[in-house]
Amino acid sequence: MAGLSISKAIAQALAAEMERDSNVVVLGEEVAAFGGTYGATSGLLDRFGGERVRDTPISEGVIVGAAVGAAMNGLRPVAEIMGINFAFLAMDMIVNHAAKVHSMFGGQFRCPLVVRTTSGGGRQLAATHSQTVEHLFAHFPGLKVVAPATAADAKGLLKSAIRTDDPVMFVEQATMYSQRGEVPDDPDFLIPLGKSDVKRRGRHVTVVAYSKMVDISLKAAGELAKDGIECEVVDLRSLRPLDLDPVFESFKQTNRCVVVEESWRTYGVGSEVAARIYEECFDYVDAPVKRVAQKEVPLPYAGNLERAALPQVEDVVAAVKSVL
Amino acid sequence: MLPTSTLSSSAAPGSNSKPPHSHLELLELYRQMVLIRLFEEKCEELYQKGKIGGFMHLYIGQEAVGVGAVAARQPQDSVITGYRDHGIALAAGMTARVAMAEMLGRVTGCSKGKGGSMHLADINLKFWGGHAIVGAQIALAAGLAWADKFQRRDAATLCFFGDGATNISYFHEALNLAAVWQLPVVFICENNKYGMWTPIEKVSAVTEIRRKASAYAIPSDVADGMDLLDVRAKTAAALEHCRAGHGPYFLEVITYRFRGHSMGDQRAYRTPDEIRKWQAEDPIGKFEKVLLDAGVAPADIDKVDDDVKAVMADAVAFAEASPFPDDSEIWTNIYIEP
């Protein structure tokens, strides 16, 4: 075990999978010579050479387009899109092609592709560069969507994402790259896609989160514990396939739930989780499911405005208290 | 394995890059064009009867482009196109049976009834579809070619698209990437003068589409899309350029669709004179003359016509006798590892 940053954990996962399978290739803006905007592809060019680690033009459509074509024709590309806000420029390729070439042609084609990208606010980049929109991609059958919250999860999930024959959106949170955690060294350390994980045990309220909101929720749980309120924090880890069994199991004990998401509430992950709880656990409901989310505004630049719009620890604390 | 049609009784397409000499070879190319023509006339009829659903875009008038270009490929070369894909699919070696079954949404279709007219494909023929988002296949082609180059397969990709697709971002991004990465792609623009119902002059700043390739330092040529041998020879030269490691090549093929953009198109945007002028250039009629000039016996040509009619009757019977997919098929092929 070693204390590693998320960015190092990702670089380790990429290197391990490239070592294991010579068809794994990495492409994207600044991934080779510069080592990735967030350092997550650092060292790969020196180790694996320019044919397997390729800088691309600033052309999101063809970055993913070439990756889909190459995946259909036998490679296992990991395409980096610098930010999920720019993935809109590749949205057609992701949702109309990556997600559909297997099914629409009757199973003839495979698309073992990973699109790595970053999501989230908190860096004063203003409205177009700060969005949290992985749930939009999770709407589409045919795609898998993963969003890790810890360095170990980032490594284990990315390795699984590269090994699966299905297309995966792998969404990292932009402010979390330097966050450190214990990460197993084992090159075959894998975490299965589509499995939620209980990050903290508790019996009073079920708190459901993913990505950075797991950290926020754990901090809130720490605060609440001082008052004797025990939260069970469930990390979804994958938005599709969505594994809600641990949520239902927890809810049947707590009868109360708060869902925390960095994105807007309307049509969001919280909406889905709440609806599924009402469908599956109606007889166990003691309080309405509460959603903590970003204010429904384009995220402003000024630090105080940005902070006011994004979900904070105190928002989660207040929401948990409100369902008790 | 060489991508040959099961209907073929003579020399296979793609067996060399020289102009055809033998009568058998000429007859085979002629057969493919007639097959496409009769296949699509039958599709038109079945569409009007309500047996084919969705959008359907006919290739009638453009047969010499698909047949001529694909005939120049080697078996390891890939083919990809847009939604006007029936002709390319048949030229790539798909049987009329399998193609017609897909048109009718049957489980015996190439895409098991999940793709329809716009999404024909056969991975075993290295025919990668049939992609109905305009221009997407141009980006996909860059990836197909990248994988081939990466694996040192000595293969190139023939990527077909219409003039309308050259105004979309995929076109520009993919040409640039193909040039920067020196990818073995032959970009084949089937310039049929209209993007849907709008003439090219109204929507494209340049109407000689090949000039767009020069912006990306990609060499180009122009071919007469009504002349199969011209298309074939120029595609063969383009493939040689790719195979020699010189990167992508751009071929603009001047052609014309005799039918509308899609079914239901009333064609009010084109004058009868213009349509008549192009119909006088019918690529099949012109190629028949090439055969006669080469000394092919008229009886041999008639026999091909009769054979293709029989093949089409068999294809329709096969498709109509095939079952629709079971309802449970909606749950298959979504994920490989659910």
What span, in angstroms and rounded, lies between the C-alpha atoms of A223 and A50?
Answer: 49
Report the sign of the C-alpha dihedral through residues A176, A180, A185, A190, in that order.
negative
How crowded is residue A173: how many other Cβ atoms within 10 Å of its Cβ? 26
What span, in angstroms and rounded, lies between the C-alpha atoms of A102 and B123?
Answer: 12
The pLDDT of residue B195 is: 87
ipTM: 0.97
pLDDT tens across B179-198, in order? Answer: 999 999 999 999 998 888 89
CB contact under 8 A, B114 and A67: no
Query: Would residue A30 count as lying in a domain?
Result: yes
Helix (H, G, I), strand (E, B) or coil at B195: strand
The two structure tokens encoding residue B3: 């991508």
Among chain B residues, CA nearest to A112? B336
Clarify whether residues A90 and A156 are in a common domain.
Answer: yes
Mean pLDDT of B21-28: 93
CB contact under 8 A, B142 and A62: yes
Domain count of chain A? Answer: 2
Query: Would residue A318 count as lying in a domain?
Result: yes
What span, in angstroms and rounded, lies between the C-alpha atoms of A265 and A300?
Answer: 17
Which chain B residues are closer than 8 Å to A96 by Cβ?
133, 136
Which member of A60, A134, A272, A306 is catalytic?
A60
Domain closes at, from A128, A149, A183 = A183
Beta bridge partners of A205: A231
Which chain A residues are closer than 8 Å to B121 by Cβ?
105, 108-109
How crowded is residue A160: how many other Cβ atoms within 10 Å of its Cβ? 25
List, as one string, the DSSP characters of B159-178: EEEEGGGGGSHHHHHHHHHH
The pLDDT of residue B265 is: 79
CATH number of the domain where residue A254 is located = 3.40.50.920
Nearest Cα to B81, choosing from B122, B114, B20? B122
Query: Would residue A308 count as lying in a domain?
Result: yes
Query: Would residue A188 count as lying in a domain?
Result: no
Is A323 within 8 Å of A256 (Cβ atoms)? yes
Query: Would residue A189 count as lying in a domain?
Result: no
Query: Which long-range CB contacts under 8 A does A218-221 form with residues at least 24 apart?
Result: A219/A313, A220/A313, A220/A314, A220/A316, A220/A317, A220/A320
A297 Cα to chain B: minimum distance (Å): 30
Domain closes at, from A159, A183, A207 = A183
CB contact under 8 A, A103 and B333: yes
Clarify whether residues A103 and A176 are in a common domain.
Answer: yes
Check whether domain B23-260+272-316 has CATH 2.70.70.10, yes or no: no
What span, in angstroms and rounded, lies between the C-alpha atoms of A224 and A211?
Answer: 21
Clarify whether residues A122 and A236 are in a common domain.
Answer: no
What span, in angstroms and rounded, lies between the C-alpha atoms of A127 and A266?
Answer: 17
Is A160 within 8 Å of A170 (Cβ atoms)? no
Mean pLDDT of A24-36: 96
B268: contact with A, CB 8 A cutoff: no
What span, in angstroms and rounded, lies between the C-alpha atoms of B220 and B142?
Answer: 17
Query: Would residue A190 count as lying in a domain?
Result: no
Tell me chain B's radius of gyration from C-alpha atoms.
Answer: 19
Option in A65, A74, A92 nearest B151 (CB): A74
Clarify whether residues A227 and A163 are in a common domain.
Answer: no
Mean pLDDT of A138-160: 98
Q: Could you tell me the pLDDT band of residue B263, with boundaries at 50, 70 and 90?
A: confident
Clarify whether residues A93 and A232 are in a common domain.
Answer: no
Mean pLDDT of B289-305: 97
What span, in angstroms and rounded, lies between the C-alpha atoms of B41 and A71?
Answer: 36
3-state secondary structure B109-152: CCCCCCCCHHHCCEHHHCEEEECCCCCHHHHHHHHHHHHHHHCC
Q: Could you tell me the pLDDT band of residue B19, with boundaries at 50, 70 and 90?
A: low
Query: Would residue A10 count as lying in a domain?
Result: yes
- Domain range for A223 is 197-323
Which member of A19, A51, A80, A129 is catalytic?
A129
What span, in angstroms and rounded, lies between the C-alpha atoms of B102 and B83?
Answer: 14
The pLDDT of residue A1 is: 52
The pLDDT of residue B294 is: 95
CB contact under 8 A, B130 and A71: no
Q: Catalytic residue at A97? A: no
Option in B173, B174, B337 nearest A164 (CB): B337
Is B14 within 8 Å of B72 (Cβ atoms)? yes
Clarify whether residues A105 and A217 are in a common domain.
Answer: no
CB contact under 8 A, A103 and B109: no
Q: Catalytic residue at A60? A: yes
Clarify whether residues A111 and A213 are in a common domain.
Answer: no
Which chain A residues are closer than 8 Å to B177 by Cβ?
56-57, 59, 62, 66
Clarify whether residues A12 and A141 are in a common domain.
Answer: yes
Clarify whether residues A170 and A212 are in a common domain.
Answer: no
CB contact under 8 A, A105 and B133: no
Clarify whether residues A157 and A117 are in a common domain.
Answer: yes
pLDDT tens across B140-165, in order? Answer: 999 999 999 999 999 999 999 999 99
Domain closes at, from A155, A183, A211 = A183
What span, in angstroms and rounded, lies between the C-alpha atoms of A231 and A217?
Answer: 9
Cα atoms in the 13 Å half-sphere on the side-chain side of B245: 3
The two structure tokens encoding residue A295: 């204010």
pLDDT tens across A221-280, in order? Answer: 999 999 999 999 999 999 999 999 999 999 999 999 999 999 999 999 999 999 999 999
Clarify whether residues A203 and A318 are in a common domain.
Answer: yes
Clarify whether residues A272 and A296 are in a common domain.
Answer: yes
Buried b (16+ CB within 10 A) or exposed e, A113-148: bbbbbbbbbbeebeeebbbbbbbbbbebebbbbbbb
Query: Would residue A192 count as lying in a domain?
Result: no
Nearest Cα to B84, choosing from B50, B106, B61? B61
Does residue A300 have a cis peptide bond before it, meaning omega lies within 30 degrees of 0?
no
CB contact under 8 A, B173 and A74: no
